[in-house]
Amino acid sequence: MALVLALLALLLGAAGSGVAVAAAPPGPPSIGAPAAVLVEPATGDIVFQRQADDRRAIASTTKLMTALVVLDRLSLDDVLAQVPYSPGGAESLVGLREGERMTVRDYLRGLLLESGNDAAETLAVRTAGSRRAFVRLMNERAKQIGLKNTHFETPVGLDVGGNYSTASDLVALALVLRTNAFIRETTNRPDATLHVRGQRGRDIKVVNRNSLVRSVPFVTGVKTGHTNRAGYVLVGSATRDGVTVVSAVLGTPSEAARNKDSLALLRYGLQRYHVVSAVTKGQRLASATIRFRDGPSLGIVASRTAQRTTKRGERLFTRIVDVPKEVEGPLAKGARLGTILVRQRGKTVDRVALVASRAVPAATTTERLSDYGRRPGTLLLLATFVGGSLLLVLLRRRSARRGDTPSVEAETA
């Protein structure tokens, strides 16, 4: 969550070894959308933006906030009864009848894939008691996550005055929503089968209106929208080789133009970034001598692999700290013996424990004595002791030859 908040701040406010990477790709694509943004979440980079803070109608991408508020308050396993809903012409619907029941899980699938307005209405009313109360929750949540250029008047997304957002805010909203695994899985589905409960249970198949998810393997979401006022809108996401990018295009004149611009942005983002291993699990990064031992030094290795998403042409740096020069057994394999700091753009972005590559048993008495015997100080002390002992013996012998023995006087009464 800390990463998401850091990125929101960027969006809404518009000594060690280096890891070298490849050169950056060509410049940004030419797109026709009047408002657009592209973000790489791991670094927080705004890769591309055009009028990204302009307030615009957003159509059914409104339902991203509808989904977030529902997830805040309901369980996916809760069962809801469909409320009455009178659609206008050409509205997108799941096709539920009043009183039919589904789980929140299936309502959200109908909301995000089919963009069902009937699903949005039921989720709003059943969550907050009324549409108006739910809209208040939507706007409160928008403030909580820092969406400064967003306001909601409907959970559905039809053209209503006062229902607007921006490309930057929509991406920020999508990033918060995508921290939920169910949402990531749902928006990446080409279709889903919803299980309706009632006197006669039935299944409804819904198809993801984001045709890029169905046709482009690396596209993973997120939500489409279209009204006469908003034009064609798409909040998109894509993942390839560990890199994820999120985009938004607003106000395009057709579905084809929307898809073309979104795909161009997503491809551009994926080309500009890659995942780099700063350190690899088991990699020997330092060593320490073992006290009382003559054998090889102890290898100090990385406890895990540390990977970071970087812009191509960018460098990572590492710095080793708190590693001892000498260790003494007993020491278990994997015992912590220091830290390696991974630094990116002047900041420490990861800390990896450095550990013993093998166990070190306690030194035996023989090894300790042998070690003492090898030390220069010990040899000097021993030589001094031996020399002193020999001198004392010689002095005693000389005294004995001269008869210089001490006399003892008897005490007389």
Indicate the pairing of strand 284-290 with strand 79-81: unpaired
Min mean pLDDT across 108-122, 174-188, 354-368 is at 354-368
Spatial contact of 249 and 264, defined as CB atoms under 8 Å apart: no
Is residue 140 very low, low, confident or very high in pLDDT (cuts 50, 70, 90)? very high
CA 87 to CA 99: how far, in whole Å?
A: 16
Q: Provide mean pLDDT across the span 37-48.
A: 98
Helix (H) or strand (E) holding 216: none
Residues with Cβ < 8 Å from 287, sequence gap 6 or more?
297, 298, 299, 300
> Is pLDDT of 107 > 90?
yes
CA 247 to CA 168: how far, in whole Å?
A: 9
Position 21 scores a pLDDT of 46
Spatial contact of 58 and 225, defined as CB atoms under 8 Å apart: yes
> Is pLDDT of 28 > 70?
yes
Helix (H) or strand (E) holding 49: strand 45-50
> Is pLDDT of 377 > 70?
no
Position 357 scores a pLDDT of 97
Is residue 403 very low, low, confident or very high in pLDDT (cuts 50, 70, 90)? low
> Is pLDDT of 126 > 60?
yes
Position 379 scores a pLDDT of 55
Is residue 365 very low, low, confident or very high in pLDDT (cuts 50, 70, 90)? confident
Is residue 392 very low, low, confident or very high in pLDDT (cuts 50, 70, 90)? confident
Position 397 scores a pLDDT of 74
CA 281 to CA 141: how far, in whole Å?
A: 41
> Is pLDDT of 384 > 80?
no
Domains of the chain: 2-14+24-274 (3.40.710.10), 280-356 (2.60.410.10)
Instruction: Give the burial class of 272: count Cβ atoms within 10 A of its Cβ; 0-12 exposed, 13-18 middle, 19 or more buried.
Output: buried
Position 396 scores a pLDDT of 73
User: Percent of the chain, pLDDT > 70?
Assistant: 85
Q: Provide mean pLDDT across the span 43-69.
A: 98
Q: Provide mean pLDDT across the span 341-364.
A: 96
Is residue 89 very low, low, confident or very high in pLDDT (cuts 50, 70, 90)? confident
Position 200 scores a pLDDT of 80
DSSP string covering 354-370 = EEESS-BPPPPHHHHHH
Smallest CA-to-CA distance from 115 within 195, 59, 166, 48 is with: 59
> Is pLDDT of 187 > 60?
yes
* Between 317 and 5, the higher pLDDT residue: 317
Position 53 scores a pLDDT of 98
Spatial contact of 173 and 183, defined as CB atoms under 8 Å apart: no
Entry pTM: 0.82
pLDDT digit string, tens, across residues 237-296: 999 999 999 999 999 999 999 999 999 999 999 999 999 999 999 999 999 999 988 889
Mean pLDDT rounded to a whole number for the chain: 89
Min mean pLDDT across 19-33, 58-72, 201-215, 351-365 is at 19-33
Position 395 scores a pLDDT of 72
Beta-bridge mates of residue 250: 35
Beta-bridge mates of residue 236: 222, 247
Indicate the pairing of strand 284-290 with strand 298-302: antiparallel
Instruction: Give the burial class of 28: count Cβ atoms within 10 A of its Cβ; 0-12 exposed, 13-18 middle, 19 or more buried.
Output: middle
Residues noted as catalytic: 60, 63, 115
Q: Provide mean pLDDT across the span 183-189.
A: 98
CA 57 to CA 251: how far, in whole Å?
A: 8
